[in-house]
């Protein structure tokens, strides 16, 4: 089962979130894993589905015009001004779809780490909890993996949690992600903080990362044209994701 690697697109925050969700919901047959790296048209922040809009606004940079959108996945506030953003969708029925959220989180971050290490970066997956840490990875599943239930998610790159990717030289968090499972499959939205790593050829990294994912998922990587999504549905969902009702849902 090959991994379909889609072309890079730049979009506004609501458009990027809408396309990620539609690639989970409306991907054409055959149902295969699909991956994309994407960019942002301007300074953008996204935040987790369950987060309170008041908390989010209180933690945004002051004095700057920002493109803000609530994600369909969980997790904390993510600053996309200097990150490398990607999405992975696994169809229902794939072996990793049936795993616990912590396991799929770990597997994807192991592939990401392998790509960084191959490029000479001091990266590793965080495999142990801090002594005082009580977390469920980025509040993805609601189940505690390091003791009791986690507090509400805050700022994504403020500290590293279990199975995040860290810089082994500085201890800084390099990568985090959030997930959503439904009857169609698993949506995985991830971000790499570029400032937490050294000089990287990001095109080379993207090829290595997608190849590592493909091998782990049981196939090869295949460059694939953008799917023919319904234009009216794409526009309607983008409009919904940019609406005050969605932004201020909680």
- Region 30-56: mean pLDDT is 94
For residue range 162-180, what is the model confidence (pLDDT) as tens digits?
Answer: 999 999 999 999 999 999 9
pLDDT at 142 over 80: no
All structural domains of the chain with their residue ranges = 3-247
How do residues 147-163 score in pLDDT, each as one tens digit?
544 555 666 666 888 99
Task: Tell me how far apart the alpha carbons of residues 12 and 52 are, in angstroms, rounded to a whole number.
Answer: 21
DSSP class of 30: S
DSSP letter string, 34-54: EEEEEEESSSEEEE-TTS-HH
CATH number of 3-247: 3.30.930.10
Q: What's the confidence (pLDDT) of residue 151?
A: 52
- Model pLDDT for residues 127-141, shown as the tens digit of each residue: 987 764 444 444 443
**pLDDT at residue 220 tops 80:** yes
Whether the predicted pLDDT of 73 surpasses 60:
yes
Which band of pLDDT confidence, cut at 50, 70 and 90, is reported for residue 144? Answer: very low
Q: What is the mean pLDDT of the chain?
A: 89
Q: What pLDDT score was predicted for residue 98?
A: 85
């Amino acid at each position: 089962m090959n991994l379909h690697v889609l072309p890079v697109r730049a979009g506004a925050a609501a458009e990027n979130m809408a396309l990620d969700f539609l690639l989970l919901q409306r991907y054409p047959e055959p149902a295969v894993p699909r991956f994309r790296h994407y960019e942002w048209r301007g300074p953008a922040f996204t935040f987790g589905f369950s987060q309170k809009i008041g908390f989010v606004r209180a933690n945004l940079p002051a004095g700057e015009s920002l493109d803000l959108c609530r994600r369909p996945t969980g997790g904390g506030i993510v600053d996309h001004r200097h990150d490398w953003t990607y999405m992975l969708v696994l169809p229902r029925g794939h072996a990793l779809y049936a795993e616990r959220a912590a396991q799929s989180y770990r597997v994807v971050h192991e592939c990401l780490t392998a790509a960084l290490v191959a490029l000479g970066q001091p990266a590793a997956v965080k495999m142990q909890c801090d002594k005082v840490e009580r977390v469920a990875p980025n509040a993805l599943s609601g189940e505690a993996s390091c003791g009791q239930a986690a507090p509400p998610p805050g700022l994504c790159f403020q500290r590293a949690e279990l199975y995040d990717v860290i810089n082994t030289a500085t201890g800084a968090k390099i990568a985090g992600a959030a997930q959503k499972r439904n009857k169609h499959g698993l949506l995985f939205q991830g971000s790499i903080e570029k400032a937490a790593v050294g000089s990287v050829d990001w095109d080379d990294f993207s090829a290595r990362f997608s190849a590592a994912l493909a091998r782990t998922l049981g196939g090869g990587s295949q460059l694939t044209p953008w799917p023919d999504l319904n234009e009216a549905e794409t526009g309607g969902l983008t409009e919904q994701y940019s609406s005050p009702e969605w932004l201020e849902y909680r």
